[in-house]
Amino acid sequence: MTSNRRVVLLAGDGIGPEVAGEALRVVDWLDRRRSVGFDLSEAQVGGAAYDATGHPLPDSTLEAARAADAVLLGAVGGPRWDSLDFSLRPERAILGLRKSLDLFANLRPAKVFDALSDASSLKADVLRGLDLMIIRELTGGIYFGEPRGVETLPDGTRRGVNTEVYTTPEIRRVGAVAFELARERQGKVHSVEKANVMESGGLWREEIQTLRDADYADVDLHHMYADNCAMQLVRDPHQFDVVVTSNLFGDLLSDISAQLTGSLGMLPSASLGAPGPGGTRAALYEPVHGSAPDIAGEGKANPIAMVLSLAMLLRHSLDQDEDAELIEQAVGNVLDRGLRTADILQPGFTAVSTEDMGRAICAELDRLAA
């Protein structure tokens, strides 16, 4: 495993190490069969890091993440650490990584594998073959805007304030991520805001349109109000390819799109920073799910979200699209053969453990690469 591309694996807590173990199994497979093309090292994060060093994001981990081309993270958190001061809670490590690496674009694909198209609460024929990407602005907007706070008014009642703020550079840099990605996909972007009632939404719309006209005229751009987008996502999700939106709307819309695919255990994500001088950008890849303390240590966790996060890493940070596709194909084939971890198990299918699922994906990779 020698190369100048560096990847840091942060397994974390709960089911984090279990699903990370299956991603490592796939990395080993890549190393044996495809010459993996990156150096992989491991570092501590979350509650495990707190237990070992007194901090959920030790300096050594942050430095390793900063020096890497990409970070692959399992999950953090658990009841053991819930009584810690807020600043030392395992979940702070993720916020710390996002902030330190300036990860401003959150990518959440919603891809429905044929074998699971009837696992969602929506009708299978609305979902079959679905493949869309929600890009959420992650470091700006109402979650960070000033002024914010709660004040007591002279009459004794209280007033809570949060402020939606976006600037031209903040909008354009996340817009550029969406347009670039659309070029590699179906060439269509929906930009989502509430320009009808919010000035910041009006600015968002204008800036995205200006960026598109100047640099991405080949991409098909649509503007949509956020409330309509929520409705359209469940009515006819196939109309979307790439959706780009603010922090708040992205938080909501990505959870709706997650539900389209049926299970938390299937959902990967990426958070990207700005491209550096060499064209590479800071990037963190992680499953959408948390550390699932209710099933940790029982071999029940679905490793697919983590394995698909590795596939995203290969595609978006290492330009190894072919390997990413191979992994996604292997996952699809294993599901087609009826293997299911407990979270996606339905009557008539074969229940498998976390490790069995990882082994089956590697066996399928063997078959595909033969």
Which residues contact ligand NAD by CB under 6 A?
15, 19, 75-78, 91, 94, 264-265, 286, 289-295, 301-302, 305, 343
**Residue 92 vs 190, nearer CB to ligand NAD:** 92
Name the catalytic one among 51, 118, 143, 319.
Answer: 143
**C-alpha torsion angle, residues 264, 267, 268, 274 (rounded to 10):** -100
Q: CA nearest 193: which of 166, 157, 153?
A: 166
- Integer CA distances (angstroms), 161 to 134, 146, 147, 151, 166, in order: 27, 9, 7, 8, 16
| Closest distance to ligand NAD from the beta carbon of 329 (Å) | 21
| Closest distance to ligand NAD from the beta carbon of 114 (Å) | 20
Tell me if 75 sits within 8 A of 291, measured CB to CB: yes
Name the catalytic one among 82, 218, 255, 366.
Answer: 255
Tell me if 71 sits within 8 A of 8, measured CB to CB: yes
Is position 118 annotated as part of the catalytic site? no
**Residue 109 vs 265, nearer CB to ligand NAD:** 265
**Residue 82 vs 114, nearer CB to ligand NAD:** 82
Is position 227 annotated as part of the catalytic site? yes
| Closest distance to ligand NAD from the beta carbon of 289 (Å) | 3
User: How far, rounded to the nearest angstrom, does the alpha carbon of residue 142 sit from its chain's CA centroid?
Assistant: 20
Q: Strand 350-351 to strand 70-75: parallel, antiparallel, or no bridges (unpaired)?
A: unpaired
**Residue 96 vs 175, nearer CB to ligand NAD:** 96
Measured CA to CA, the distance from residue 18 to residue 10 in angstroms comes to 12
Name the catalytic one among 13, 194, 241, 343.
Answer: 194
Q: Strand 6-12 to strand 39-43: parallel, antiparallel, or no bridges (unpaired)?
A: parallel
Is position 194 annotated as part of the catalytic site? yes
Measured CA to CA, the distance from residue 163 to residue 198 in angstroms comes to 11
| Closest distance to ligand NAD from the beta carbon of 90 (Å) | 7
| Closest distance to ligand NAD from the beta carbon of 267 (Å) | 9
**Residue 218 vs 294, nearer CB to ligand NAD:** 294
Terminal-residue alpha carbon distance, the chain: 21
Name the catalytic one among 31, 215, 251, 356.
Answer: 251
Measured CA to CA, the distance from residue 293 to residue 13 in angstroms comes to 9
341: DSSP letter: -
Structure token digits, residue 151: 């004040």
Tell me if 304 sits within 8 A of 262, measured CB to CB: no
Is position 143 annotated as part of the catalytic site? yes
| Closest distance to ligand NAD from the beta carbon of 290 (Å) | 2
**Residue 301 vs 326, nearer CB to ligand NAD:** 301
Is position 155 annotated as part of the catalytic site? no
Name the catalytic one among 227, 236, 294, 336.
Answer: 227
Residues forming the active site:
143, 194, 227, 251, 255
